[in-house]
Structure 1
Amino acid sequence: MVHEYPWLENVWRGLQASMAAQRLPGAVLLQSDADLGVEVLVDAFAAALLCKTYPDQACGFCHSCDLVKSNNHPDLHRILPEKEGKAIGVEQIRHCNRLAQESSQLGGYRLFIIEPAEAMNESASNALLKTLEESGEQCLFLLVNRDKKRLLPTIVSRCQQWTVTTPDLNAAVEWLRQQGVKDVAKDLLKLSHYSPLQAKAMAQAGGLAEYQKLEALFLSALTQPWGDITELVLFIQTSSQRNLTWLWYLLSDAHKSAFRLDSQDLLPGSQTLSHCPLIRLHSAMESLTQLMQQLRTFPGLNEELLITNWIIQIREALCL
């Protein structure tokens, strides 16, 4: 599976080399942007580390590999938030710390996967730090992380660090082409935070058509100063954070187009907006950023009213 995602290859080869040379540290920090399929890399590493046949990859047929595939390996432990969006608590880390002091049940490595590592609260982080300072032989902690700034620097400093990076635009477009997504690959990548996997899923779900409808409604609202914006507001509310983010990308591309910046992936509607004064485009982007932050922080607010007010405000400023 790792080989299906080319952007994982460099990190995977590095981890394989460490396993083959028997030079693994006590802790590994795997840093990745969201939606890059890093879970495939984590699973491949766990299977390879615990395999009894080969030193740097899983054979797929030994007893250990069978246990990994059935999620029953006694030396493989996954530490996750007990509920989505919640923290990883100190008791969870203390429990895995106790397990780390025990012997391997199958006579090999004991692997503790903490994901996402940034979900550990302060007490949990401090508890883990003590264990990393005193980790035993053939005991490895794999911290899977999206935001290194939220980890204690002392934890980061004790880890061997690997980073999975988002592939460049041309590589991502080529991968999508191989998956059968061709003509609109660049637009899909822009709207999917440049995640090839998310772009592919968006293509399969007809997401580009949703963006095109949003863009058409938005541009129509800006060209009709007194027109009804009810349909636009209701459409935005079907997935407010996603749709507002898409509008932010559109305004950002208009800003780039107005500066005549050479970019391969400007959204089609940005050319229409690029004729607006730069200072007003910038102001619209700032107010949209504030709106999205407000809706994320205070979910109980009147979403419809806030979105309506924002559209009226920028329509007056950007009226085409």
Structure 2
Amino acid sequence: MLYPWQQSLWQNWQLLLGQGRLHHAILLLAVRGSGREVLAQQLAQTVLCQNCDTEPCGVCHSCKLFAAKTHPDFHIIAPLQEGKQIGVDAVRQCNRWAVETSQLAGQRVIMIEHADALGEAAANALLKTLEEPPSGCQFILTAQSLDSLLPTINSRCNKWRLTTPDEQETQRWVERQMMQTVKLESVRLNGGAPLATKQFIEQGQDIRHGNLLEALSNFLLPPFTGIYDVAALCTGEGIVSLKWLSYFLVDCIKLQQGVSTHFVHNESLDKVQAVASQINPAVLLSQVRKANELHRKLEKHTGLNEELLIVEWLTGFIAD
């Protein structure tokens, strides 16, 4: 079942499917939490369907195998772990699938999830197959953006961007799904992505985010106590907490500069105002930069003493 914000793009694909003009390599660009895997799988199932050209019938042998995740002509490659690259061996396997004969005497579909995680060697191994695709083989690639995708892959695909709903639509959709009021700041912390926002609330991150802001606000007011409380909350949540604090500090900077709209922390402006009135603008700018640097460092290097590094960063607010 597709989500409402996916219908327009899906209708465009249906038109091309009906006309037999769908490009052999589709690149779907969509942010995390937009349900892009649902849309990509809908396309894959439709291409493989034995009864219909523009939507999966759901009853043919192919559709039943697809629903059971046992379709012999549908293959997926993806990073083995989040944040890791797709290796060249996985792409070589993908190239072998591309030239195999269909086991159901129909199309073959190869999906590459997180194609922006293809390393240079892996991307180069894929190029020839994308340039000279075997007959009856459909490629579907998904990525968050073009920023990390190698231009050589980008240039050989037909690109489609899934737009997320505006933040009010996302807020209303999540509220309907969860049957509760949802803060706009929860939507903004998740880039407006509906599924990411829903998961954020389901997992209680909205509550823990609020607790972290409370602890930080208390720490940044004289007599500047509670540094280890903030660090413990950050460590418990993981490195995403540094992103939350970075957004919060940017809101403080905006307020200091006279901005009156477009705050991420729309419902926590009292805390934004308290910190903005207390901390020097130059310190805030420096701490945002250092928070982002620390986030990248912890993302790249596992095994570091996260709590110690966060305490060190927090001391930057009160150092002479």
Is TM (by shorter chain) over 0.5?
Answer: yes
Other-structure match for 2:223: 225
Mapped partners of 1:240, 1:102: distance in 2: 43
Aligned pairs for 1:70-109 within 5 A: 70-82=68-80, 84-109=82-107
CA distance, structure 1, for counterparts of residue 167 and residue 313 of structure 2? 32
Task: Tell me by how many angstroms 1:187 deviates.
Answer: 1.8
Q: 2:26 aligns with which of 21, 25, 28?
A: 28
Identity %: 36
| Partner residue, 1:55 | 53
Please point out which of 273, 280, 284 is paired with 1:281: 284
Q: Structure 1: state its 5+ residue gaps.
A: none
Does the 8 Å CA contact 1:177/1:185 hold for their aligned counterparts? no
After the TM superposition, which residues 165-244 of structure 1 pair with which residues of structure 2 at under 5 Å, given as runs? Answer: 165-180=163-178, 182-244=180-242
Q: Name the count of aligned residue pairs.
A: 315
Q: Deviations over 1:259-313 (max 9, x none)?
A: 2232264341212223244333222211222222232233333322221122222
Letter in 2 for 1:106: L
Taking the aligned partners of 2:298 and 2:16, their CA distance within structure 1 comes to 45
User: Could you tell which deviates more after superposition, 60-69 or 132-141?
Assistant: 132-141
Q: CA–CA distance in 2 between the matches of 1:134 and 1:29?
A: 17
CA 1:265–1:97 in 2, change beyond 3 Å: closer, same or farther?
closer
Are the equivalent residues in 1 in contact too, given 2:6–2:39 (CA < 8 A)? yes
Determine which of 269, 272, 286 is the counterpart of 1:270: 272
By how many angstroms is 1:57 displaced? 0.5
Displacement, 1:108? 2.2
Q: What residue in structure 2 maps to residue 123 of structure 1? A: 121
List alignment gaps of at least 5 residues for structure 2. none
Q: Aligned equivalents of 2:225 and 2:125: distance in 1?
A: 59
Structure-2 change in CA distance of 1:309 and 1:87 (3 Å): closer
In the superposition, relative to structure 1, how do residues 83 and 157 fare at CA in structure 2: closer, same or farther (>3 Å)? Answer: same
Q: Tell me if the contact between 2:175 and 2:182 (Cα under 8 Å) persists in the aligned partners.
A: no
Distance (whole Å) between structure 2 residues aligned to residue 228 and residue 120 of structure 1: 43
What is the CA-CA distance between 1:219 and the residue it aligns to? 0.8
Match in the other structure for 1:136: 134
Whether contact under 8 Å (1:89, 1:124) holds in the other structure is yes
The letter for the 2-side match of 1:179 is Q
Cα distance in 2, alignment partners of residues 244 and 84 from structure 1: 18
Report the TM-score when normalising by structure 1.
Answer: 0.90
**CA 1:230–1:84 in 2, change beyond 3 Å: closer, same or farther?**
closer
1:69 paired with 2:67, answer: yes
Once residues 29 and 188 of structure 1 are traced to their aligned partners in structure 2, the CA distance between those partners, rounded to angstroms, is 29
Give the deviation of 1:47 after TM superposition. Answer: 1.1
Partners of 1:83 and 1:128 lie apart in 2 by 20
User: How far apart are 1:170 and its partner, in Å?
Assistant: 1.7
Secondary structure of 1:312 counterpart: helix
CA separation in 2, counterparts of 1:117 and 1:11?
Answer: 20
Structure 1 residues 178 and 184, CA gap change in structure 2 (3 angstroms) = closer
Structure 1 CA distance for aligned equivalents of residues 71 and 238 of structure 2: 42
What is the TM-score normalised by the length of structure 2?
Answer: 0.90
Q: Aligned partners of 1:227, 1:123: CA distance in 2, in Å?
A: 51
- Aligned twin of 2:313: 310
